[in-house]
A = this chain, B = another copy of it.
Amino acid sequence: MLIVMKHGASEEQIAAVVRTIEEMGYGAEPIPGRRRTAVALVGNDGRIDPGRLDSLPGVFRVIHISPPYRRASRDWHPDNTVIRLPNGACFGAGEVVLIAGPCAVESEEQLLETARRVRAAGATVLRGGAFKPRTSPYSFQGLGEEGLRLLTLAREETGLAVVTEVLDPESVEVVAEHADILQIGARNMQNYSLLKAAGRADRPVLLKRGMGASVEEMLLSAEYVLLEGESRVILCERGIRSFDTHARNLLDLTAIPTVKELSHLPIIADPSHGTGSRRKVSPMARAAIAAGADGVMVEVHPMPAEAVSDGAQSLTPDQFEVLSSELRLIARAIGRDLAEPVRPAAVAGA
């Protein structure tokens, strides 16, 4: 951490910065420059609150040299975190995981048909929203607990693992009963009460990047989960805000090599929410895998035109099948492969 002083800061002001750093238990080393002095804080262990330094008189700004998170950082944990699900699917060990399913769980028939089709095409995890966070209060809000029950049914029948979203601390327990992975949605990426509750539920957490959040902020949100003792966090790029409205969001695929460099946590991409348009989902899913993602999460619906939410961005099962075979070739082009398909029933019945 570097505390840059204003042009013309006094000797007393510099001394006060040094003193404060030392009081915080770190080392301080002033670096006089031609226009201004800076003070280096030595010994940063990733747990400093810069608030006290920021506001000292004569301080121009505080520059973070090392990242402000610790448990999520590759500096302190050089090996990839590997997350293995009960059905064998595995994030972070090299294979590419396909997560697919409808935006929202609508009915037993819709969910089971989708589950069977996506498993046949190579998916190993089933997605499906039971509790839906919607920008407008007039939009469909999900089936709730009935949706969770149907997800469990689909898992039993197909052997797919299940990921579904949890919206508030109260629901963590019931969602964790039915899901293999708890999803924290983009709108809740900085809902710290929820992050803490999810971190205590003994389930891997899929943390989606907020639409207005930086990669660093996503890693700091992951740090909240990690600090509760849950080490199995999967990050997800799903598009951020941009001035160009040609797509619903701007899928920031550079976040993938960035996260790989900064952190040991696996990262996947969601090209369905990340583009908002069916015609762009397959190109961007391919791009995500080519960029090094550990998986993709894709919305698939047997009848997109009748979906109660996000139909415009759902692939048909046939389109997903084509995509899956392209993804396999791309994964191999960079020395990876798709996850092995799960065996139905056998898995659940074993």
A227 partner residues in chain B, CB cutoff 8 A: 137
Assess the B250–A252 pair: CB atoms within 8 A. Answer: yes
Tell me the A237-265 residues at the B interface (CB within 8 Å): 240-247, 250-258, 261
Tell me the A275-321 residues at the B interface (CB within 8 Å): 275, 278-280, 283-284, 286-292, 304-314
Assess the B167–A193 pair: CB atoms within 8 A. Answer: yes
A56 partner residues in chain B, CB cutoff 8 A: 305
Q: Which single member of B44, B49, B211, B247 contacts A254 (CB below 8 Å)?
A: B247
A215 at the interface (CB under 8 A from B): yes
A84 at the interface (CB under 8 A from B): no
A2 partner residues in chain B, CB cutoff 8 A: 2, 38, 63, 65
Q: A7-B75, A223-B137 are in contact. Are A190 and B187 (CB under 8 A)?
A: yes
Interchain residue pairs A-B with the least CB separation, the first 5: A212-B212, A55-B311, A329-B333, A241-B243, A187-B190
- How far apart sit A291 and B285, CA to CA, in the bound complex (Å)? 8
A349 at the interface (CB under 8 A from B): no
Interface-side segment among A26-34, A85-93, A118-126, A149-157: A26-34
- How far apart sit A14 and B275, CA to CA, in the bound complex (Å)? 24
A345 at the interface (CB under 8 A from B): no
Residue of B nearest to A256 (CB): B283
Tell me the smallest distance from the CB of A64 to a CB of chain B, in Å.
Answer: 10
- How far apart sit A286 and B33, CA to CA, in the bound complex (Å)? 36
Assess the A279–B257 pair: CB atoms within 8 A. Answer: yes
Assess the A34–B38 pair: CB atoms within 8 A. Answer: no
Tell me the A188-225 residues at the B interface (CB within 8 Å): 188, 190-194, 210-217, 220, 223-224
Assess the B34–A311 pair: CB atoms within 8 A. Answer: no
Residue of B nearest to A133 (CB): B192
Q: Which A residues fall within an 8 A CB radius of B?
A: 2, 4, 7, 29, 31-36, 38, 40, 42-49, 51-52, 54-57, 59, 63, 65-66, 68-69, 74-75, 133-140, 167-170, 187-188, 190-194, 210-217, 220, 223-224, 227, 240-247, 250-258, 261, 274-275, 278-280, 283-284, 286-292, 304-314, 326, 329-330, 332-334
A306 partner residues in chain B, CB cutoff 8 A: 52
Tell me the smallest distance from the CB of A69 to a CB of chain B, in Å.
Answer: 7
Residue of B nearest to A134 (CB): B192
A-B residue pairs in contact (CB < 8 Å), sample of 13: A31-B31, A31-B40, A33-B43, A68-B136, A135-B190, A136-B220, A136-B223, A137-B224, A187-B190, A191-B194, A211-B212, A240-B244, A242-B243
Residue of B nearest to A217 (CB): B135
A134 partner residues in chain B, CB cutoff 8 A: 192
- How far apart sit A245 and B61, CA to CA, in the bound complex (Å)? 12
Assess the B305–A55 pair: CB atoms within 8 A. Answer: yes
Most interface-central of A167, A217, A291 (chain B CB within 10 A): A291
Tell me the smallest distance from the CB of A87 to a CB of chain B, in Å.
Answer: 27
Q: A136-B69, A137-B223, A283-B257 are in contact. Are A216 and B334 (CB under 8 A)?
A: no
Tell me the smallest distance from the CB of A205 to a CB of chain B, in Å.
Answer: 15
Assess the A286–B280 pair: CB atoms within 8 A. Answer: no
Assess the A242–B240 pair: CB atoms within 8 A. Answer: yes
Tell me the smallest distance from the CB of A167 to a CB of chain B, in Å.
Answer: 5
